[in-house]
Amino acid sequence: MNGNSMLEIRHYSKSYGGGKKAADDVSLTVECGDICGFIGHNGAGKSTTIRAVVGVLDFTEGEIFIGGHSVKDEPMECKKITAYIPDNPDLYENLTGIQYLNFIADVFELGAAEREERIRKYGDLFEITRDLGDLISSYSHGMKQKVAIISALIHEPKLLVLDEPFVGLDPKASFTLKEIMHEMCDRGTAVFFSTHVLDVAEKLCNKVAIIKHGRIIFSGTMEELTEGQSLEEAFLEADHEEIQHSS
């Protein structure tokens, strides 16, 4: 294992009932300071892979390492340095935003001053501080997404895993999140996120992985993939080549 790699997926496969593989021999590496975009069609296996990475989905084939720890054998060590934001965050609806953030801060054993400073910082950045006293059930989808993002950021993870993070966010919040991702990357945090918005991935990521029918068809740097084209063109080309190859 590379000493600088924060996330390493080795030959990970996942089948559901019926023997069809949702993820098939997936291997990729995300190093410290990388922002890696994970792209593919609907149902390609992005969420299945992401959920296995963050320890939500059980798997038997392959290995996943976070910061050198095995997700299978040392899940607690992995989770302590990882933050995950799902595509449709199911938060505790009957807690207020601040109660939920305090719950997460308690879980990660953050001190009172520390949590207050970070919640205020990110709350102000996402312009949600004033709403934190209201019940989450009264929030819009975007506001819930903001609370989920803040909860992921307050414990300063070494690996940030996001599943379609920009869905539902207003333009300002999307911009803020991108800025934060850059800042974290500069501090050595690895970011691994799935998206369908190729323009965002192109501007944000230095690495990209493309998944199709559960198989990785490309994994490397953005330059290696695009070679002077736009990401959209490169993605469609890679997709087309894969169709020809499989037929």
Rg (CA), the chain: 18
| Residues in a beta bridge with 35 | 191
Nearer to other proteins among residue 2 and residue 94 (C-beta):
94
Q: Tell whether residue 57 is a contact of other proteins (CB under 8 A).
A: yes
CB 19 to other proteins: min, Å: 9
The residue from 55, 61, 114, 127 that contacts other proteins (CB under 8 A) is 55
Nearer to other proteins among residue 23 and residue 198 (C-beta):
23
- Here's the x/- map for other proteins, 77-96, by CB under 8 A: it reads as --xx-x-x-x--xxxxxxxx
Nearer to other proteins among residue 13 and residue 82 (C-beta):
82
Rounded CA-CA distance 61/26 in Å is: 10
Q: Which residue has the tokens 């965050």?
A: 89
Q: Which residue has the tokens 């038997």?
A: 60
Nearer to other proteins among residue 3 and residue 17 (C-beta):
17
Q: Tell whether residue 73 is a contact of other proteins (CB under 8 A).
A: no
Rounded CA-CA distance 116/101 in Å is: 10
Q: Tell whether residue 76 is a contact of other proteins (CB under 8 A).
A: yes
**Which residue from 225, 78, 104 is spatially nearest to 161, judged by alpha carbons?**
78
Q: Residue-wise over 129-152: b if at least 16 C-beta within 10 A, else e?
A: bebbeeebeebeebbbbbbbbbbb
Beta-sheet pairing, 69-70 with 21-31: unpaired
Nearer to other proteins among residue 103 and residue 175 (C-beta):
103
The residue from 26, 104, 205, 217 that contacts other proteins (CB under 8 A) is 104
Q: If DSSP codes are grouped into helix, strand and coil, which group holds residue 28?
A: strand
CB 62 within 8 A of CB 25: yes
Q: Tell whether residue 106 is a contact of other proteins (CB under 8 A).
A: yes
Indicate the angle between helix axes 97-107 and 141-153, nearest 10 degrees. Answer: 30
Interacting residues with other proteins between 2 and 41 (CB under 8 A): 16-18, 20, 22
Q: Tell whether residue 137 is a contact of other proteins (CB under 8 A).
A: yes
Q: Which residue has the tokens 């080309």?
A: 237
Rounded CA-CA distance 246/212 in Å is: 11
Q: Tell whether residue 70 is a contact of other proteins (CB under 8 A).
A: no
Q: Tell whether residue 51 is a contact of other proteins (CB under 8 A).
A: yes
CB 20 to other proteins: min, Å: 7
Rounded CA-CA distance 74/66 in Å is: 10
Nearer to other proteins among residue 15 and residue 226 (C-beta):
15
- The kind and range of the H/E element at 61 are strand 61-66
Nearer to other proteins among residue 39 and residue 91 (C-beta):
91
Residues that bind other proteins (CB under 8 A): 16-18, 20, 22, 43, 51, 54-59, 75-76, 79-80, 82, 84, 86, 89-96, 99, 103-104, 106-108, 133-135, 137-138
